[in-house]
Chains A and B, each alone.
Chain A
Amino acid sequence: MNTMLVSQENIKNYIPQREPFIMIDALVAASDAGFQTQFTISDDNLFLEENKLSESALVENIAQTCAAGFGYLNSLIEGAEPQLGFIGAVTHLEVFNTTQQGALIETEVKVLNTFENIHLVEGIARTAGTDLLKCQLKIVLA
């Protein structure tokens, strides 16, 4: 994997979400095997509930990690049309811990398998080495 591939200033070029729904700051690694992103929870994050980040925000964080990763890899292919990614399913969801504003979330996604335009991935969000949430997603690229 590489290091700091897409900065916070450019992340919007690779994901369809816009503020206040952006849940990743930077793509720090990407390869056919998987992706890594970083995200710092700001005080005004929409998904803070009593100063704790909601589980749905972490699923969204993992999904946006996929979008950024696949989008980045697609951008490396000369002449490739931009692709849209859709979440087809969320399975094997496990919640371990919660976290709060100011925390740096580091998210890792592994591509488990691919069939045609459907990618089965497993994502895990961590903060300071502590697992927060893990799930599998089926991502459909179109």
Chain B
Amino acid sequence: MERTEIISRTKDFLSREFEVDPSVIVPENNLQESLDLDSLDYVDLVVVIEENLGFKPTADDFKTIVTFEDFFNLVEQKLGA
């Protein structure tokens, strides 16, 4: 999957699931703050990632994610893009 498609698809499903404006999902923004995630929300995040991107992230994966840029990098790595 191309990076532009990863970004487009991510904006779509994250904005719907977490009810945020798609414009906040940009590489430089903090993922946790932008989506207003608490610890319980991470299981929802795992569910939508699995449903929309086809892989299940681990707790170690989330340790590497601060910004959406980090998230897009992880997706590329997981999907072997």
Q: Residues on A close to B: CB < 8 A? A: 88-89, 112-116, 118-120, 138, 140
Which residue from chain A places its CB closest to the CB of B51 in the assembled complex? Answer: A113
Distance of A89 Cα from B41 Cα, bound (Å): 10
Which residue from chain B places its CB closest to the CB of A113 in the assembled complex? Answer: B47
Does B42 lie within 8 Å of A115, measured CB to CB? yes
B44 interface residue (CB < 8 Å to A):
yes
Does A120 lie within 8 Å of B47, measured CB to CB? yes
Distance of A114 Cα from B39 Cα, bound (Å): 13
Residues in B whose Cβ lies below 8 Å from that of A116? 42, 59
Residues in B whose Cβ lies below 8 Å from that of A118? 39-40, 42-43
Does B44 lie within 8 Å of A120, measured CB to CB? yes
Q: How many inter-chain contacts with C-beta < 8 Å in the A-B complex?
A: 25
Q: From B40, B42, B47, B59, give the contact of A112 (CB < 8 A).
A: B47
Residues in B whose Cβ lies below 8 Å from that of A140? 40
Does B40 lie within 8 Å of A113, measured CB to CB? no
> Closest 4 CB pairs between A and B?
A115-B43, A88-B40, A118-B43, A115-B46
Least CB distance from B45 to A in Å reads 8
Residues in A whose Cβ lies below 8 Å from that of B47? 112-113, 120
Residues in B whose Cβ lies below 8 Å from that of A88? 40
Could you pull out 21 A-B pairs where Cβ atoms are within 8 angstroms? A88-B40, A89-B40, A113-B46, A113-B47, A113-B50, A115-B42, A115-B43, A115-B46, A115-B59, A116-B42, A116-B59, A118-B39, A118-B40, A118-B42, A118-B43, A119-B43, A120-B44, A120-B47, A138-B40, A138-B43, A140-B40
